[in-house]
């Protein structure tokens, strides 16, 4: 029997995984809920304290979302806390229309036997 020693070791369980947050631009069709889920995971995994949460949130906002946050939210509430900022962004970017659009897309999906879901 021949054995090969490649010098590589595969680890089945790698617990050093770090969730990476994504930027949020506020584009039409961009899902704030997905952004928030990734951000919250990152904050929990890295045990980020409350004072740094707002700074990290601000660094991830780009384009229209950054302008809305700085001119629409911070001007009115310069001492805003992280949770308040999230609620203000959620009310701007998670609308009933957006949720309805996702529901319609979900309902339009079809799935045959042994197939992955797809749009018709």
- Residue pair 26/95 in contact (Cβ under 8 Å)? The answer is no
Distance CA 98, CA 34 (A): 13
**pLDDT number for residue 61:** 98
Q: How much is the CA Rg of the chain, to the nearest whole Å?
A: 21
How would DSSP label each residue in 76-108? T-TT--HHHHHHHHHHHHS-HHHHHHHHHHHHT
**pLDDT number for residue 94:** 87
Portion of the chain with pLDDT greater than 70, in percent: 68
Distance CA 59, CA 99 (A): 26
Between 28 and 36, the more confident residue is 36
Residue 52 CB coordination number (10 Å) = 12
Portion of the chain with pLDDT greater than 90, in percent: 55
Structure tokens at 65: 């979302």
Mean pLDDT of the chain: 83
**pLDDT number for residue 6:** 58
pLDDT over threshold 60, residue 13? no
**Residues 6+ positions from 27 with CB-CB distance below 8 Å:** 63, 64
pLDDT digits (tens, 9 = 90+) for 45-102: 999 998 899 999 999 999 999 999 999 999 999 999 999 999 999 999 987 666 666 6
- Residue pair 117/111 in contact (Cβ under 8 Å)? The answer is yes
**pLDDT number for residue 15:** 55
């Amino acid at each position: 029997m021949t054995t090969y020693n490649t010098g590589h070791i595969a680890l089945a369980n790698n617990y050093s995984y770090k969730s990476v947050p994504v930027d949020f631009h506020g584009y039409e069709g961009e899902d704030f809920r997905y952004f928030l889920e990734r951000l919250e995971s990152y904050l929990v995994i890295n045990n980020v304290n409350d004072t740094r949460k707002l700074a990290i949130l601000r660094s991830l906002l780009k384009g229209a979302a950054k302008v809305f946050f700085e001119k629409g939210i911070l001007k009115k509430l310069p001492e805003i806390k992280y949770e308040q900022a999230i609620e203000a962004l959620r009310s701007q970017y998670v609308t009933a229309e957006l949720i309805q659009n996702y529901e319609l897309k979900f309902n339009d999906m079809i799935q045959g036997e042994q197939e992955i879901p797809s749009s018709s």
